[in-house]
Amino acid sequence: MIERAPFGRTGHLSSRVIFGGAALGAMTQERATATLDLAFAAGVNHLDTAHSYGHAEDVMRPWLAQHRSEVFLATKTGERSGDAARAQLEDSLRRMDVDKVELIQLHNLVEPDEWEQAFAPDGAVAALAQARDEGLVDFIGVTGHGLRIVDMHLESLERFDFDSVLFPVNAALLAIGSYRTSVERLIEVCAEHEVAVQTIKSIARGRWSDDATGPRYSWYEPLRDAEAIDRAVRFVLGRPGVFLNSTSDATVLPLVLEAAARARVGDVPSDEEMSADAAAFGVTPLFDGGLLERI
């Protein structure tokens, strides 16, 4: 069974794997229900989705009707103005047929102009804080992609007392010295303030090559080798106080869940093991601070 840990200061003991709702974005209802059942049976009690994840919120609705009290439910808004963020939150509640969510997150808040708009008096942050006061959400977080996001999260935490952050972590990205330094600083700040730390892209192999064949269930190519996935998952979950959001490619979800059930704090694969996997499977960073920043 997957270990659980306090999700920051929320009071919730979350499974250290959080189910990534992007996997449901184009699924049939039947398959979506089966996928949620699989995660739940493995001990996952925290679901993370977004208004922008296709029809993910809609296909979660029947499952939530049976399990709402058993899970911590999070969604995201990509809107930056207050009115639009409030409207999108309300639409998410309607789509999932729930009275509230435990966590609402500002999705991919990295661009400076969007950041300023979100923090303006009539911006998304103030509107979500008002929604929290009204009981529509319990907690507010911030998420993002790319190498710039960690430093932006540090700025966001200086401006507002967010309850959670989310950003990419895997061995290829942490091999970039400046990014690793920023990640270590952010984790330190989050620990000081009991801010929950969520990670994404743990099993990313890299961006799809032009000659790649077969179906693509994610915008990036995931690892598929069971042993490499095991090491990639332990690379994240071996670190204390860190949560792993599962990949949007549900075909490898069983391997991620199995690896997570074996993971323990302190059991982090060596840099040599991760370098060997990078060489064997062609693992490359998803982001480079330049041309590859946008997905």
Please give the Cα distance from 243 to 200 (Å, whole number).
Answer: 9
Q: Report residue 201 as tokens.
A: 């892209």
116, 122, 48, 54: which is closest to 85 by C-alpha?
122
Beta bridge partners, 72, equal: 46
The pTM of the full predicted model, rounded to 2 decimals, is: 0.96
Q: Are 12 and 102 in contact (CB under 8 A)?
A: yes
CATH for the stretch 4-281? 3.20.20.100
Q: What count of residues does the chain have?
A: 295
Q: Are 47 and 23 in contact (CB under 8 A)?
A: no
Q: Report residue 207 as tokens.
A: 């961006």
Give Cα separations from 103 to 10, 68, 92, 279 (angstroms): 10, 14, 12, 38
122, 55, 50: which is closest to 84 by C-alpha?
122
pLDDT of residue 221: 94
The full set of domain ranges for the chain reads 4-281
221 three-state secondary structure: strand
**φ, ψ for residue 18, nearest 5 deg:** -105, 130
251 three-state secondary structure: helix
- Write out the chain's pLDDT in tens, 295 residues: 899 999 999 999 999 999 999 999 999 999 999 999 999 999 999 999 999 999 999 999 999 999 999 999 999 999 999 999 999 999 999 999 999 999 999 999 999 999 999 999 999 999 999 999 999 999 999 999 999 999 999 999 999 999 999 999 999 999 999 999 999 999 999 999 999 999 999 999 999 988 888 788 899 999 999 999 999 999 999 999 999 999 999 999 999 999 999 999 999 999 999 999 999 999 999 998 776 676 6
Q: Are strands 196-200 and 242-245 parallel, antiparallel or unpaired?
A: parallel
